[in-house]
Amino acid sequence: MDTITDTPQRKKILIVDDEQLLLQGLEKALRSDAVEVSTAETAEAALAELAAAPCTLCFLDVFLPDRQGPDVLNEIKRISPKTKVIVMTAGVITGAMKELIEKNAYLFITKPFDLLQVRMLAKRSLEETEA
Q: What is the distance between the alpha carbons of residues 27 and 37, in angstroms, rounded to a whole number? A: 6
Domain CATH code at residue 16: 3.40.50.2300
- Cβ atoms < 10 Å from Cβ of 21: 8
Residues 6+ apart with CB under 8 A from 70: 62, 97, 100, 101, 104
For residue 99, the model assigns a pLDDT of: 86
Q: What is the dihedral of CA 51, 53, 58, 60, to 10 degrees?
A: -40
Pick the closest to residue 72 from 95, 110, 94, 41 (CA basis).
41
In a domain, 41, yes or no: yes
Mean pLDDT, range 105-111, rounded to an integer: 92
Print the domain residue range for 14: 9-125
In a domain, 1, yes or no: no
Q: What is the distance between the alpha carbons of residues 92 and 31, in angstroms, rounded to a whole number? A: 29
Q: At what angle do helices 69-79 and 95-104 cross, to 10 degrees?
A: 20
In a domain, 4, yes or no: no
**What is the longest distance spanned by two Cα atoms in the chain?**
51
In a domain, 70, yes or no: yes
In a domain, 130, yes or no: no
In a domain, 62, yes or no: yes
In a domain, 64, yes or no: yes
Mean pLDDT, range 73-83, rounded to an integer: 94
Rounded percentage of the chain residues whose pLDDT exceeds 70: 92
In a domain, 45, yes or no: yes
For residue 1, the model assigns a pLDDT of: 36
For residue 7, the model assigns a pLDDT of: 45
pLDDT by residue (tens digit) across 55-66?
999 999 999 999
Q: How many domains does the chain have?
A: 1
Q: What is the CA radius of gyration of the chain?
A: 14
Mean pLDDT, range 67-81, rounded to an integer: 92
Q: Using the predicted structure, report yes or no on whether residue 2 has a pLDDT greater than 60.
A: no
